[in-house]
Chain A
């Protein structure tokens, strides 16, 4: 495996379910990100981790809970979501947390909340 991988690619869940999204990067990067991409909004940054420590939380509802157990893995735990949370969730990584660094994106998880 190379690059940034995400599983599952598609997820349908009810509002009372608990599920987790997984991201893995094989690039040796130190920073990882979660983004939300909705049909009618720009890409929204949700969480940023650098060396496994969270450095940014953009006012994301507590029903989204990130976890970064090591620099290669990032999880997004989902609980009691709302239909408006349906979107494409993208994971990205970069070498360092520097503004000029390229971010490498995974293919995303298409989430549908019923």
Chain B
């Protein structure tokens, strides 16, 4: 079983729709990062959340860190074809030395025009 479970694994929607991607764990994380990866490229950081209950907004993207710091969500409003890609959450564990991130399995999003 994965330490970080992402759902859904695949999502295909029409342009203009809203969506939410979830990242869940039974472990407490000191920080949670969301990355987006496009074909042929490495992941690119979107946001880092560190405080339980924290909400961050990046244009049409809203990120939330759960109160207990065990889960996170990414909500996209009015999705556009440019949002297509693989969304990865990554948790930093308190017990880990240094910058050791644990990645979820990813959510592959396709936004159709």
Which residues of the partner chain A approach B98 to less than 8 Å between Cβ atoms?
31, 48, 50, 55-56, 97-99
Which residues of the partner chain B approach A99 to less than 8 Å between Cβ atoms?
30-31, 92-93, 96, 98-101
Q: A90 CB to closest chain B CB, in angstroms?
A: 5
Chain A residues 27-69 with CB under 8 Å of chain B are: 31, 41-45, 48, 50, 55-56
Which residues of the partner chain B approach A4 to less than 8 Å between Cβ atoms?
42
Bound CA span A100–B43, Å: 16
Interface size, A (range): 20 to 34
B104 pairs with A107, CB closer than 8 A: no
Interface size, B (range): 20 to 34
B96 pairs with A41, CB closer than 8 A: no
A101 pairs with B2, CB closer than 8 A: no
Give the interface centre of A43, A92, A102 by most chain B CB atoms within 10 Å. Answer: A43
Which residues of the partner chain B approach A101 to less than 8 Å between Cβ atoms?
99
Pull 19 A–B residue pairs with CB atoms less than 8 Å apart, ordered by A.
A31-B98, A31-B99, A41-B105, A42-B2, A42-B104, A43-B43, A43-B103, A48-B98, A48-B100, A92-B42, A97-B97, A99-B93, A99-B100, A102-B45, A102-B48, A105-B43, A105-B44, A107-B40, A107-B41
- A residues near B (Cβ < 8 Å) are 4, 31, 41-45, 48, 50, 55-56, 90-92, 94, 96-108
